[in-house]
Amino acid sequence: MDAFLNGFLALTDPSLLLLLVAATLGGVIIGALPGLNATTGAALLLPFTLTMEPVAAISILTAIYCSATFAGAITAILINTPGTSASATTCLDGYPLALRGEAGRALGMAVVASTIGGVLSVICLMIAAPVLARAAYNFAPPEYFALTLFGLSMLVSVGGGSPIKNLIAGAFGILLATVGVDLLTSVKRFTFDVPQLHEGIGFVPVMIGVFGISELLSQASALHQKREQVTMKAIKLPSMADYKKVWKTILRSTGIGTFIGILPAEGATVASMIGYNEARRWSKTPEEFGKGAIEGIAGSEAANNSATGGAMVPTLALGIPGSPTAAVILAGLLVHGLRPGPTMFTEQADFAFAIFWSMLFVNLLFLVIGLYGAKVFARVTLIPIRMLWPSVFIFSIVGAYALDQSMFDVWIAIVSGIIGYFMRVYGFSVVPLAIGLILGGMLEQRLGQSMVMLDEQWWLIATRPLSAFFLILTAIALFGPALWKLITGQRPAFKKGS
């Protein structure tokens, strides 16, 4: 209870509140810009938070996460272009409503559903994360190794690419995590006599490169793209009839989004798709979906915003990112010297609850911003792409250099961006690479600790009940779909080029 109250008292700091307001406004702009998303925004901002206090730094990153996820609905409704992938299903009914002159009603529903979903998911986060952490408090290195391995197994489903390509990208990220001096043996690995590589490849330059610079190169093909914007007089709150029609949908999608967010490596995009499909399945008028159904907007937006709180549960309680943006936030925790896991809720409980309260504040804040400022923020879609992306590139380079005032980090960011671009071209998602880089180091460290603890008898890991449980889950995640198709007689559907 003391940590609960102390976390709330952290919000009484005027400077922190001002930073949260600024970050929320920035997140709305990032989410409203087609091509940018919460992950890119958090990755670009990460190096600028390193001089801040940990509470302020992580609060800003979570503010970007929450507000950018919501803001994707603005462009989805007005120009039929989702600002973030999590708002792709919002286009299906939001844009038809806008074409009928009901853009204000559509945005009003998006704002309300997003706020309700976000607030309820943060409340679940406050309850679930400490409980999960207490359950994991007795974990030893073998259990953490098996848990991290399970987190890596989820790479097959993250990013939207084929499972094989996701695993290849994740393995490449793990390979990058092995660069540097091994802390257990003091052996130099893949350093090529470059002193800057002795401490390994940093998270931040790679994040900037694969999420920011690679997206810049990909967006270069859209320089001549023109977007038509629907005019909008004002945003209005949903009517009482709308509330009666969608309240069950909002609660259902909030539960779906929170649950999907908790699953490692899933996130808001998957949640929004499932939330939308379930809204249509339970609707009394499913034939209206795709033509301007208000339930479709509610189902999509409540699900994708509730996934943000859910994704932070495994991120803080177990150190396993629940989404791509949560992976960037996890990198921020690590570079600030914080260790996500059970000890965070015993040794740094005040910090954890300060993050919870800041997320709750941000979710309430973008209710105000969405209702009174969405029309203004929609204007950022008129920024020419040939002006926007060079600015993002400059911001990326400055951010990479600001980390350690090192040109080597700049080159790491540029090379990572080029690699990320070619990965996108050939159908590889960059998200597994980033998660592999973060979890790869943890996996190696925990395996080394387990080997010391078990006197080099690695097979004893499987004899511990919790470790065996996570190893079984890993096997199911990797081989379950193929076995199911084999049992049911279905032929695996291989994607061309995979």
Could you report the per-residue pLDDT of 382-417, keeping only the tens digit for each? 566 667 667 777 877 877 786 677 888 889 888 988
Query: Taking 50 as the threshold, does the pLDDT of residue 497 lie above it?
Result: no
Percent of the residues in the chain that have a pLDDT greater than 90, as a whole number: 5
Question: Residue by residue, what is the 3-state secondary structure of 349-374?
Answer: HHHHHHHHHHHHHHHHHHHHHHHHHH
**Residues 6+ away with beta carbon under 8 Å from 419:** 209, 210, 214
Query: Taking 80 as the threshold, does the pLDDT of residue 112 lie above it?
Result: yes
Nearest to 53, CA basis, from 350, 457, 482: 350
Residue with tokens 């061309």: 496
Give how far the C-alpha of residue 169 lies from the chain's centroid of Cα atoms, to the nearest Å: 18
- The pLDDT of residue 495 is 44
Written as one string, the DSSP assignment of 406-427 is -HHHHHHHHHHHHHHHHHHHTT
Mean pLDDT of 202-215: 79
Distance CA 266, CA 79 (A): 27
Tokens of 68: 């950018």
Confidence of residue 375 (pLDDT cuts 50, 70, 90): low
267 Rama class: left (phi>0) / alpha (psi -120 to 50) / beta:
left
**Residues 6+ away with beta carbon under 8 Å from 249:** 279, 282, 283, 295, 298, 299, 302
Q: Quickly count: other Cβ atoms within 10 Å of residue 410's Cβ.
A: 20
Distance CA 300, CA 358 (A): 24
- The pLDDT of residue 60 is 92
Confidence of residue 377 (pLDDT cuts 50, 70, 90): low
Query: Taking 50 as the threshold, does the pLDDT of residue 6 lie above it?
Result: yes
- The pLDDT of residue 10 is 81
Distance CA 435, CA 110 (A): 30
Most confident of 2-11, 13-22, 97-106: 13-22
Residue 246 belongs to some domain of the structure = no
| β-bridge partners, 181 | 188
CA dihedral 131, 137, 138, 143 (to 10 degrees): 100
Whether residue 81 contacts residue 34, with contact meaning beta carbons closer than 8 Å, is answered with yes
Tokens of 447: 């395996």
Query: Taking 50 as the threshold, does the pLDDT of residue 167 lie above it?
Result: yes
* Coil, helix or strand at residue 181: strand
Residue 185 belongs to some domain of the structure = yes
Helix axes 88-99, 294-317, angle to 10 degrees: 150
Tokens of 210: 């694969």
Residue 43 belongs to some domain of the structure = yes
Mean pLDDT of 273-284: 84
Confidence of residue 488 (pLDDT cuts 50, 70, 90): confident
Distances (CA, A) of 74 to 201, 242, 373: 37, 19, 11
Nearest to 267, CA basis, from 211, 221, 324, 320: 324
- The pLDDT of residue 61 is 92
Number of domains in the chain: 1
Residue 379 belongs to some domain of the structure = yes
Residue 498 belongs to some domain of the structure = no
303-335 pLDDT, tens digit per residue, is 888 888 888 888 888 788 877 788 889 888 888
Tokens of 390: 């060079």
Query: Taking 70 as the threshold, does the pLDDT of residue 185 lie above it?
Result: yes
Nearest to 113, CA basis, from 266, 297, 271, 240: 297
Query: Taking 60 as the threshold, does the pLDDT of residue 175 lie above it?
Result: yes
Residue 153 belongs to some domain of the structure = yes
Residue 238 belongs to some domain of the structure = no
Whether residue 292 contacts residue 101, with contact meaning beta carbons closer than 8 Å, is answered with no
Residue 248 belongs to some domain of the structure = no
Q: What is the domain range of residue 59? A: 2-227+253-486
Percent of the residues in the chain that have a pLDDT greater than 70, as a whole number: 85
Confidence of residue 32 (pLDDT cuts 50, 70, 90): confident
pTM: 0.71
Mean pLDDT of 463-486: 80
∠ CA 379-375-287 to the nearest 5 degrees? 110
